[in-house]
């Protein structure tokens, strides 16, 4: 069991749908992250939130919209996705101090029809 909870575990959506991925942690971590992982590839960083503010956006298309409503929650809003966006989306969190390990959830497996 991980301390970072992601819902839903699986999501299938059409290209015109709007959906959201949710991530929750109660470890008091103030840094939260979204990663994307394609099949048989390593995870790639998408966004970093620090103290509920977006601090890093790795040139992610605007059809992905992150949101951090409070220190325990991280959302990823999805709209008008493309089939190539099908992937495993991973959330992670860490203490703010540098070099603290990141704790990952088990991800949401997203399929775009």
Structure tokens, 91: 């959330």
Q: Are 27 and 93 in contact (CB under 8 A)?
A: yes
Taking CB under 8 A as the rule, does residue 7 contact another protein? Answer: no
Q: Are 89 and 108 in contact (CB under 8 A)?
A: yes
Least Cα distance to 61 among 78, 40, 43, 39 occurs for 78
Among 50, 71, 75, 86, binds another protein (CB under 8 A): 50
Q: Are 34 and 46 in contact (CB under 8 A)?
A: yes
Per-residue x/- track, 58-87, another protein (CB under 8 A):
------------------------------
Rank residues 12 and 58 by Cβ distance to another protein and give the closer one: 58
Residues lying near another protein in the complex (CB under 8 A)? 2, 4, 31, 33, 42-45, 48, 50, 55-56, 90, 92, 94, 98-107
């Amino acid at each position: 069991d991980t301390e970072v909870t992601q819902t839903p575990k699986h999501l299938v959506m059409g290209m015109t749908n709007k959906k959201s991925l949710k991530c929750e942690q109660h470890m008091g971590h103030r840094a939260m992250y979204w990663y994307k992982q394609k099949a048989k590839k390593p995870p790639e960083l998408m966004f970093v939130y620090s103290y509920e503010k977006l601090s890093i956006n790795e040139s992610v298309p605007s059809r992905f919209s992150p949101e951090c409503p409070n220190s325990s929650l991280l959302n990823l809003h999805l709209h008008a996705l493309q089939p190539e966006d099908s992937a495993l989306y991973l959330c992670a969190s860490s203490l703010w101090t540098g070099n603290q390990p990141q704790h990952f959830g088990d991800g949401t497996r997203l399929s775009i029809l």
